[in-house]
Amino acid sequence: MVGRALQIVRMVLAAGIVAAAVPSFADDAANEVWNGLRKDVFGTRELLDGAQMMTLEAPVRVEDAAIVPLAVKMPAAFAETVTKLTLVIDKNPSPVVGTFAYGPAAGKGDRMLSTRVRMDQYSDVRAIAETSDGKLYMVSKFVKASGGCSAPASKDAEEAAKTLGKMQIKTAIGKSGESLTPEAQVAIKHPNTTGMQMDQLTGLYAPARYINKIEVKTGNNVVFTVEGGISFSEDPSIRFSYAGSPSDPMEVTAEDSDGTKFAGRSAASPS
C-alpha cells in the first residue's frame, strides 16, 4: 500500500510539473512574438512601465472577436505630456491597430480614447504612450478572443457600398476623471475588410480595403490624426475627450487603402 501511495504521489507531482511547464512554454512563445514586434515598431527604444501613468480597459474574454472594445485613460498630469498613443495586438496579422498623434485640441485635462478592434487569436493587447521628451510608457492586458480578422462582414458588399464613408459625429459634455470635459464620437461607415474574409457563396476572399488615415479637428485645431490598418473593426468608431466647445463644429477627414477620401462635419449646436 505504501508503495502504491508513493507511486500516486509521484504521478501527481509529475503532472503538476508538466502543468506548470505549459504556461512557461506559452509565455516564452508570447515573449518571442512581442520581442520581434517591439523591435519592428520601436527599435531599441526603452519601454517604461506605464501602470502608474494610464489604464487600459479591455475585456478578459469576448464572444465576438470582430468588435472587441478597448479604452485608454490618462490623468491630466500625464496626458498633457503625451504626443502619441499606439495600440498594438501582438498576434494579429497586422499588429499595430493604429497610432494616434495628438494635436493642440487634445487638451491638457484628463484624456480618454476608446475604440473597437478585431482580434485574430488570444493575445496581449498593448497601449504605448510617447511623451514630449521622447519616453515610451506601456500598459498591456491579455484578451481571450479569436477569429475576428476572418469573421464575415455584417453586410454584403453592395449594401456596404451604399453608405461607404458616411460619418456620424457627435459632441457632448462627459465626465472624465473628476471633472466634466468635452467628449466626441466619430463613426465611419466602412467594411474595413482584412483580406482574410471569405464570401460564403463564392468561396473567394474579399480584397483588403480599410480606413488607414483619419484627421479630427475642432475650431481649426487638430485633436488627433491616426494611421491605422485592418485591426480596426468594421465601421470604425472612436470616442475621445478633447479641448474645445461642443457647440463648435467638428471636422473629420479620412482616407482608405484604395485612396478614396471621405469627409464629415458635425452640426453646430447651441452653447
One DSSP character per residue, 45-100 reads: --EEE-TTT-EEE--SB-S-TTSEEEEEEE-HHHHTTEEEEEEEETTSSS-EEEEE
Give the tens place of pLDDT for each residue, 224-263.
Answer: 999 999 999 999 999 999 999 888 999 999 999 999 999 9
Domain ranges of the chain: 1-44, 51-265
pLDDT digits (tens, 9 = 90+) for 165-217: 999 999 987 765 556 789 999 999 999 999 998 877 777 898 999 999 999 99
Residues in the chain: 271
pLDDT in tens, 153-162: 877 778 888 9
- Give the residues across from 179 on adjacent strands: 176
For 51-265, CATH gives 2.60.40.2470
The mean pLDDT value for 12-29 works out to: 51
48: which strand partners?
Answer: 137
Q: What is the pLDDT of residues 87-133, one digit of tens each?
A: 999 999 999 999 999 999 999 999 999 999 999 999 999 999 999 99
pLDDT value, residue 171: 93
Mean pLDDT to the nearest integer, 134-159:
91
Q: Can you give the pLDDT at residue 95?
A: 97
Query: Which of 132, 74, 141, 70 lies closest to 101 in space, CA to CA?
Result: 132
Amino acid at 44: T
Distance CA 99, CA 154 (A): 26
HSE-CB of 252 using CA atoms within 13 angstroms:
25
Higher pLDDT, 120 or 6: 120
